[in-house]
Amino acid sequence: MSDYKPPFHMTDKMTFLIAEISEQVGRITVLQEGAISPHLRRENRIRTIHSSLAIEHNSLSLEQVTAILDGKRVLGNPNEIKEVQNAYEAYELMLRLDPSSVDDLLKAHKLMMNGLVPENGKFRSGGVGVFDGEVLIHMAPSAEFVPEHIHNLFAWYKHSELHPLIKSAVFHYEFEFIHPFADGNGRMGRMWHSLLLGKWKELFFWLPIEELIQSRQKEYYGALSAADKQADSAGFVELMLEIIRGSLKEVTVVDRSTDQDSDQVTDQDKSPVDRLLSVLGNDMLSATEIMERLGLSHRPTFRKNYLNPALEQNLIERTIPDRPNSKNQKYRKRK
């Protein structure tokens, strides 16, 4: 076994966040009685794929991603559509993957990048750097050392006695530092992080952590860069724990719709869709204006619980139906 140890240190903030997250996981597990509905699993999986690819500059909307995975024809960049299809196949395989197997990592990458890069399912054969515009912010280790670095990282994770919440975040950072593939490192690193957490608690297989990473994308890349400069990933670990805590809070809000303490549910006699219809009235409003009337601040929750169900039930319609992502988009009741 290698003596490899990733450079990071524990902080009081990490300890506090672990306690909060563990408490939330326990509460959600009890409320869900150990099960997540197939509908919610699929919905969260689609949100995960959309957010992870959006971080990598895929321009397809959540509605378009959903349509692609429903087998519908979507007008868009063929490579971006392929990215969605590949990601879905890779995530569908996730439950059968062994997170300690390098062979399974390569198998997942082969699916994720099939038809997108020549070296799909293989470690990179050349050098690679991470750029912010034209500025090099990270130069990955030489390709010849990648197999050794990855095997050492997997061995460290398997034998480490750190809490899974901590060591999975450290793994995530170290994976991005090694940058083992010619392309697809970000989406593979995020997927493997979810796999590691899912093996700890099954809930994490279906938690769309990527959605909150996307909402804090600048911080995410900033924490990766700072860890490089400081040769210590503690700041990145803290950020990922904050993101995981935030994701769990969203699940709590969604699944505890009758909880009197929830700041997202203020009228127990109405469903989210009924509340949306009530505040919309006979007006034509943008998503932001509807959220303001509802007293909501988190856009993913609004779309998931209010807007998308209302659209799917044909209760409301877009004023610019052929351009769903238009900045001038508004919504009105369907007549």
232 annotated to a ligand binding site: no
Which stretches does DSSP call E strand in 110-232? Answer: 129-132, 135-139
Q: Nearest Cα to 298, choosing from 333, 247, 260, 232?
A: 247
Asked whether residue 131 is marked as a ligand-binding residue, the answer is yes
- Torsional sign, CA 301, 303, 304, 306: positive
Question: Given the structure tokens 């932001």, which residue do they identify?
Answer: 288
**Is 130 annotated as contributing to ligand binding?**
yes
Tokens of 78: 């063929």
φ and ψ at residue 285, rounded to 5 degrees: -130, 150
Say whether 179 is catalytic: yes
CB 144, CB 121: distance < 8 Å: no
Q: Is 136 annotated as a binding residue?
A: yes
Distance from C-alpha of 75 to C-alpha of 66, rounded to nearest angstrom: 13
128 is in an annotated binding site: no
Known binding residue 47? Answer is no
96 marked as binding residue: no
Determine if residue 165 is labeled as part of a ligand binding site. no
Set 149, 172, 179, 298: catalytic member: 179
Contact call for residues 8 and 234 (beta carbons, < 8 A): yes
What is the C-alpha to C-alpha distance for residues 8 and 100, in angstroms, rounded to an integer? 21
Query: Does 314 appear as a known binding residue?
Result: no
> 184: annotated binding-site residue?
yes
Distance between CA atoms of residues 211 and 51, nearest Å = 5
Do 316 and 277 meet the contact criterion of CB atoms below 8 Å apart?
yes
298 annotated to a ligand binding site: no
Q: What does the block give as tokens for 20?
A: 């909060």
Neighbours of 318 (CB within 10 A): 15
What would the DSSP string read from start to end of 7-37? -----HHHHHHHHHHHHHHHHHHHHTTT---
According to the annotation, is 133 in a ligand binding site?
A: yes
The answer to the question of whether 221 is labelled as a binding residue is yes
Report whether 175 belongs to an annotated binding site.
Answer: no
123 is in an annotated binding site: no
26 is in an annotated binding site: no
**Residue 162 DSSP code:** S
Residue numbers in the known binding site for ATP are: 130-138, 183-190, 220-221
Q: Which residues are catalytic?
A: 179
Residue numbers in the known binding site are: 130-138, 183-190, 220-221
